[in-house]
Structure 1
C-alpha cells in the first residue's frame, strides 16, 4: 500500500512514519527532512518531497497514486488558525487525487461529560485553548460537513507523550478515554499504531475516533 504522510518530520509524524515503514508500506513523505534523517530500517520504498500545504494543486499532485494520506500537520504556534485553512486544502487535494485522508486532530473536542467538551472543562490549560479551538473548529466546519471524501479524524488522549509501543490501548469515538484514576494518556508510539491499524481496518470512515489507555 502506498501511504503519503504530511508532516512526517514532526514528533507524531515520525512515529507514524516509523510504524508504517515497519509494516512495509511504500511511503511518500512530505517533509523538509531527507530519507536518511528518519533512520528507517526499510528505506527501499521511501521518498521525501517538499510541498506547500496551501498549494492545493501541488498537494493533489503529491497525493496522486496514494492509497491513503495521513496528515499530522501542526500550525505555527503564533497562528493556530492556519490549521483550518490547511485542512481545507488537504480535503480538496485528497478529493482531487481520489484518495482517503486520515488526519491527527485534538483532544479538546472530546466529550468529558454530557454536554461538556474537554476544552470547556474548568481545569483545561489556558495555554492550549487556541490550538484546541482550532482543532474543534476544523472538525466541526471542515470534516464533519464533508460527505464526498473518505476522511477520518483521530484525537489523542488529553496527554500524549514520547513513550513505548505497547499495542495495548482502547478506542472510542467522541468521548475522552480515561483510566480509573481519571488520567487520560497515550504514547505517540501507540497513537501511531492505532492510526496504521485504521488504515487497514477502515472502521471510522467519515468519523472521528480517539485512542487512550
Structure 2
C-alpha cells in the first residue's frame, strides 16, 4: 500500500485518481482549497493552498507519491507553475515521486512532432495548454534528485465526455493516442487507472507519457 497525496483532489482528474487509488487499497490524502461536495469514501481531505506549503508538511510526510492535478482556472489561472515549483522544491531528494497531470496540447501528433498545440489549437484552451507545456519544461529542468512523471490525457477528456471505467488504455509515449478512427479520447476513470498504474509500477521516471484508447 502506498501513501498518495493528490493536489487538487476535488477536481475532475483529482477526484478520479483518488477514487481509483482508494479502490486499490492505497492511503489517499486529497488537498484542495474547497470542501468536497461529493467526497470519495476512504479519502482523507485537507483544506489548504498549495501556494502555502508550510501548513501541509504533515500531509506530505511519508508520502510515496504526490500527484498534482491542479487546474489553471479562477484564482489559480496564473499560479499553477508557482505552486508546482514549490512542491518540486519540497520533494527534491526525498524519494517521493511527483506526478503531474498535464493537458493534451503538449503531446506530439506524430513521432518527432509537431505538437497538438501547434495544429490549429482552439484559442479558448491555449492558456491552459501553455501552462501544461511550461510545467513539463520546468520538470525537465529540475535536478535528477526529483523523480517525476507527467501524464498527457487524450484530446477528448473531461466531465463533458465522462465515459466509463474499462480498465484499459494505451501508452503512446510522447505521441497523442488515437484509435483506428482517428479519435483521441479517454474516460476520467481510465485516465485515473493509468496514473495509479504508474505509481504502482514505475514505468516512467523523469519523463512524460500519453494515454488514450
Q: Deviations over 1:150-172 (max 9, x none)?
A: 11111101111311000121002
Is 2:145 the partner of 1:144?
Answer: no
C-alpha distance in structure 2 between counterparts of 1:79 and 1:7, whole Å: 11
**1:1-213 matches, cutoff 5 A:** 1-31=2-32, 32-33=34-35, 37-40=38-41, 43=42, 46-77=43-74, 80-95=77-92, 98-113=95-110, 114-122=112-120, 124-140=121-137, 142-146=138-142, 147-160=144-157, 161-213=161-213
CA contact (8 A) 2:93 2:145 kept: no
CA contact (8 A) 1:173 1:209 kept: yes
Q: Which moved more, 1:131-140 or 1:91-100?
A: 91-100
Displacement of 1:8 in angstroms is 0.9
C-alpha distance in structure 1 between counterparts of 2:66 and 2:76, whole Å: 24
C-alpha distance in structure 2 between counterparts of 1:97 and 1:115, whole Å: 34
- Alpha-carbon spacing, 1:56–1:39, altered in 2? closer, same or farther (3 Å): closer
Structure 1: which 5+ residue stretches go unaligned?
none
SS in 1 for 2:210: strand
Task: Tell me the TM-score normalized by structure 1.
Answer: 0.89
SS in 2 for 1:154: strand
Displacement of 1:49 in angstroms is 1.1
C-alpha distance in structure 2 between counterparts of 1:197 and 1:79, whole Å: 28
Task: Tell me the TM-score normalized by structure 2.
Answer: 0.89
Displacement of 1:115 in angstroms is 3.5
C-alpha distance in structure 1 between counterparts of 2:23 and 2:67, whole Å: 16
- Alpha-carbon spacing, 1:28–1:73, altered in 2? closer, same or farther (3 Å): same
Structure 2: which 5+ residue stretches go unaligned?
none
Displacement of 1:183 in angstroms is 1.0
Q: Deviations over 1:48-85 (max 9, x none)?
A: 21222112333444211111111211122476332211
Aligned residues: 206
Displacement of 1:96 in angstroms is 6.8
C-alpha distance in structure 2 between counterparts of 1:159 and 1:108, whole Å: 11
Cα RMSD, aligned residues only:
1.9
